[in-house]
Structure 1
Amino acid sequence: MPVINRIAEFNEDMKEWRQHIHSNPELGYDCHETAAYVVDKLKSFGVDKIQTGVAQSGVVALIHGQGGDGPTIGLRADMDALPIQEVRDHPYKSKNEGKMHACGHDGHTTMLLGAARYLAETRNFTGTVALLFQPAEEGGGGGLAMCEEGVMDTYNISQVYGLHNHPGQELGSFHTRPGPLMAAADTFTIDVTGKGAHAAMPHLGIDTVLVACQIAQSLQMIAARNTDPLKSCVVSITTIHSGSAHNVIPETAELGGTVRTLDEEVREMVIARMEEIATNVAAAHGAVAKVSYRRGYPVTVNHAAETEFAAGVARAISGEENVDTDTAPMMGAEDFSYMLESRPGAYLFLGGGGGAGLHHPEFDFNDDISAIGASWFVKVVETAQPRV
């Protein structure tokens, strides 16, 4: 596997960086210590400019090539961890109770740092590369915040690329597709109001528990019967809260959950049908239902030309047989979607081999793929903006 030789030489350094970040996880926008560590490394590499405090704790670093003026290409890595208690006992185990890097963002940051070190040393490209170290991917929308703060316009970024590790896929393999790659992720709450009563006299009340259960069952018809079978839709009820005593029919009940879609028309249909189903099922029993629907991350949509370009770079690193450009879309979500709405680009998965899956308390990023990912980042820049 043709990893860049110089990057392979400092692979042990990358392993040390990754394990340091792993030991000191931070959540959401509170990635200040991680950002400080990133900035310290970037300064030691000799990058040309560093902006801190982007989206509270994000970092943007610029490296200018030696090939003359040209466009700016963006490379993004996320820095935040998850509110999960790590269960594996290894020397670099999380020092922060209830927090761990269970999604590999420690590895993503490390791969981009490795690329930064090499690019600052060689500068074998034209124009500029903007390194985007982002907080709050795990539900906080840090990618949107960075875009709203004008990162793309301030640095005149012309295209943007990102990479995510993928345990369970062959080590060093790349997986992507043009068009929808990951789903839109929305959440909802349905508040049901009925009439409380003694549980021994249900005819004197309006049973919100029964109504909530019927709404929950009926909502499954959206995916089963309202969605085109050739399109994707997930409606998951994940919480039901009601009542406080065995002998009381509660006056209120609350359902909550998530909706995942890969198509904006399907998304709009789900919103409309959820309102209709909840309202009418409740009304049929004399109750009232109020739906609160919150749009989350949009669909992560890869741009066709940039996806083929990024896959071509991956082939040069891992070989034709190890690059899949027709991977099935995932119903998980990713706030890199906002950056792809702002600029053309692509998002790829990098196989991490075996081990626990993402968001699992036993997950650990595979350090063996750091040099592969860093090499891919570098070659994206050098291939997109070659030195003349």
Structure 2
Amino acid sequence: MPVKNRFAELLPEITEWRRDIHENPEILFETHRTSALVEEKLKAFGCDEVVTGLGRTGVVGLIKGKTNKSGKTIGLRADMDALPILEDTGLDYASKTPGAMHACGHDGHTAMLLGAAKYLAETRNFDGTVAVIFQPAEEGGGGGKEMVDDGMMEQFRIDEVYGMHNWPGKPVGSFAIRPGAFFAAADQFDIYLTGKGGHAAKPNETVDTTVMGAHVVLALQSIVSRNLDPVKQLVVSVTAFETGSLAHNVIPETVHLRGTVRTMDPDVQDMAEARLKEIAEGTAAMLGGRAEVDYRRGYPVMVNSEEQTAFAAEVAASVSGGCDDAPQVMGGEDFAFMLNARPGAYILVGNGDTADVHHPKYNFNDEAIPAGCSWWAEIVEKRMPAA
């Protein structure tokens, strides 16, 4: 079945919701306005139950089908939070909150799931129950984990869960997916180097942490080039180098390095963590200083279930005429926590020729709304066909 006509009719209304959310971005768990908007609309649509406060500011709406012989519940998840980025789009509905913008399209994800919820509440042409899940704090806050930890899957008896993300550079409304490991585990590290500060004219009397830090940054590159099996994936990136001085003539006492490690394999993750600590501590000691490493594991690898991925691809093909094989992505995605709790799948929908996500000029493409909404609705109607 192609894009549903109902979503073509609803496009102006869904677009209006999306642009209102875009204009009023909220970061991490502070999605109070957005959550209230979602709650209000779900109740207006006639959802059978609307629950708030899961994962702090998450919202879940339940929609019952015409029958429930299957006893099955499918979860559909959208993220709601924005990013701490200063918007540079020039849109007439650009962010009204300085330093915050919907630079990843979560405004579009929320609007599309609201559109699907409205349609499903109108038609109820399925056998079972739908849980529409609106999650805060995907961008580094682990809102998905908090909703799972709050017992969401058990409370609503969710059997399977499906997620979606827009994808710049892919034709509008087209889809791509892959089974198995899809998005990477995303870890963070901080390395604190201590030496002996002093006058830059007398480096022999110091233990130079700037030189120490430079050696550590370069040595960390050997984890990928010399410790990793070449057929596996690993990213080690140092993203900040902060010294204890801004003066031209002072060798600082301390240096702080910050960065991220991305992996697709738990064994590679273990190796990278161990080698990062060994290299930082060993390099610092070699140069007369010391290193303290704070390594924190973040989002796990996001793994699509085989059966649900095949089904999601079939639905995508019915909506858009095809579904491409997606490459693995070294970005992190906290939908991984929901897929760890229940079988399911995560799919990409094309956003067209736009700026990339997390860029100040990015904007969600409203032309993708009918395809995204149709995919959500078809997931429900085909997975739980009316009895």
Letter of the 2:386 partner, please give it.
R
Alignment partners' CA distance in 1, 2:250 and 2:107: 49
2:284 to 282, 302, 306: 282
Take 1:251 and 1:30, find their aligned partners in 2: how far apart are those partners?
38
Which whole-Å deviations, capped at 9, do the CAs of 1:155-200 have from their partners, x for residues lacking one? 1100000000001101111111011111111110111111122222
Q: Please give the secondary structure, in 2, of the residue aligned with 1:157.
A: coil
Aligned-pair CA distance for 1:310: 0.4
Corresponding residue number in structure 1 for 2:97: 96
Number of the residue aligned with 2:369: 370
Q: 1:229-286: CA deviations, max 9, x gaps? A: 1111111111111132222222211111111111111010000001111111111111
Asked whether 1:60 is paired with 2:67, we answer: no
| Stretch of structure 1 that moved more, 41-50 or 242-251 | 242-251
Letter in 1 for 2:31: C
Whichever residue aligns with residue 305 of structure 1, its letter is E
Q: CA offsets per residue over residues 355-385 of structure 1, 9 Å max, x none?
A: 1110111111111111110110010011111
Measure how far apart 1:90 and its partner are: 2.2
Which secondary structure state, in structure 1, belongs to the residue aligned with residue 298 of structure 2? Answer: coil
Fraction of identical pairs, as percent: 55
Which residue of 1 is the match for residue 20 of structure 2?
20
- Residues 193-342 of structure 1 mapped to structure 2, 5 A cutoff: 193-244=194-245, 245-320=247-322, 323-324=323-324, 326-342=325-341
**Separation in 2 of the partners of 1:283 and 1:95?**
50
Q: 1:132 matched to which residue of 2?
A: 133
In 2, the alpha carbon distance for the partners of 1:249 and 1:33 equals: 48
CA contact (8 A) 1:67 1:386 kept: no
Q: Counterpart of 1:382 in structure 2: which amino acid?
A: E
Q: How many Å apart are 1:9 and its aligned residue?
A: 1.4
Structure 2 residue ranges without an equivalent (≥5): none
Contact conserved, 2:300 with 2:334, CA < 8 A, in 1? Answer: yes
Q: Hey, what's the Cα distance between the residues in 1 that align with 2:111 and 2:199?
A: 60
Shift of 1:24: 0.9
Counterpart in 1 of 2:121? 120
Contact 2:27 2:82 in 1 (8 A): yes
The answer to whether the Cα contact below 8 Å between 1:84 and 1:361 also exists between their aligned partners in 2 is yes
* Structure 1 segments unaligned to the other structure (5+ residues): none
Per-residue CA shift, 1:316-346, capped at 9, x if unaligned?
Answer: 11113xx11x321111111000000000000
Number of the residue aligned with 1:31: 31
Structure 1 counterpart of 2:112: 111
Name the residue aligned to 1:79: 80
The answer to whether the Cα contact below 8 Å between 1:49 and 1:61 also exists between their aligned partners in 2 is yes
* Number of equivalent positions: 385
RMSD: 1.1
Q: Which moved more, 1:104-113 or 1:91-100?
A: 91-100
Query: What's the secondary structure of 1:279's corresponding residue?
Result: helix
SS in 1 for 2:60: strand
**Taking structure 1 as the reference length, what is the TM-score of the superposition?**
0.97
